[in-house]
Amino acid sequence: MTDDQQALPGVVVVGSVTADLTTFSTRLPVPGETILGDDFTLVLGGKGANQVVAAGRAGAAASFVACVGSDLFHDMIMDGLVDAGVDVTHVRTVPGPTGIAHIRVDASAQNDIVMVPLANAALSAGQIDAGLDALAGRASVLLTQLEIPAPLAMHAIRAGSERGLTVVLDPAPASALPDDIWRHVDVVTPNETEATVMTGVEVTDVASAERAGRWFLERGVGAAVVTLAGAGALLVSPDGARLVAPFPVEAVDTTAAGDAFSGYLGAALAEGATLDEAVVRAAAAGALAVT
């Protein structure tokens, strides 16, 4: 990390990194069917990597704690992170394959994803602690997700909280977490599906999104931001609920829109923005990410 980068507001991301293999087709095949696609891409991905790159683009000094494999995707991933200005000091290379995400995108820009963790499973509590100890002095925000093993995500949450970092959790892919972890989370950012899975409240509109947001607050979370795709994002805090209207764009591919949202949210908070201001910036970034 350069001296200029160290002078920027700091964000540290503990999370996943994958090689993203994406196919584009008019529609998705039904089980047992083969169809012809229109395009294919191979790029750096994973929720952690996407978020740390987004935080850097948003103007933060972005540092990453993660594991990458020793296979043919290694150099592509490391070069992509370095080219994006990410501090990779705490990205560890482990024997074996890099994490993989197989993504399918249809003509309406909707997608489905199968993520295989592989090298991401080698992340350890010791690596997380070492990274946070080294970075906590210059970072003020921690971002993490659930593409790494849940016990490690929870360790990162507690470790970040203990070091005085603002902890932002993107709870994807959604899975149940013990109630005692939530008091260590400052901001949680589920989409409708994740909020439904985690809270048991079926999120179908703003009112149900607020009920889901309150579920998190009742368990100790500082604030919940329930993203509602084309309907915007609902910020639920002890001060009330505020709907941030969507930015009108023509979606081409919604993959990683939520990661752009999280990365820009973290960067804005590190810069000193209020949560309201940070959510508006994040919503704008998420909208641009789908175009």
Q: Which residues are catalytic?
A: 259
Among candidate residues 282, 275, 231, 279, the one with its CA nearest the CA of residue 257 = 282
Classified as helix, coil or strand, 94 is: coil
Among candidate residues 140, 45, 62, the one with its CA nearest the CA of residue 100 = 45
Q: How far is CA 108 from CA 24, 25, 191, 250, in A?
A: 10, 10, 19, 10
Alpha-carbon dihedral 64, 166, 244, 46, rounded to 10 degrees: 20
| Interior angle at CA 224, CA 246 and CA 84, nearest 5 | 65
Q: What are 276's two structure tokens?
A: 């309201």
Question: Which residue type is seen at 72?
Answer: L
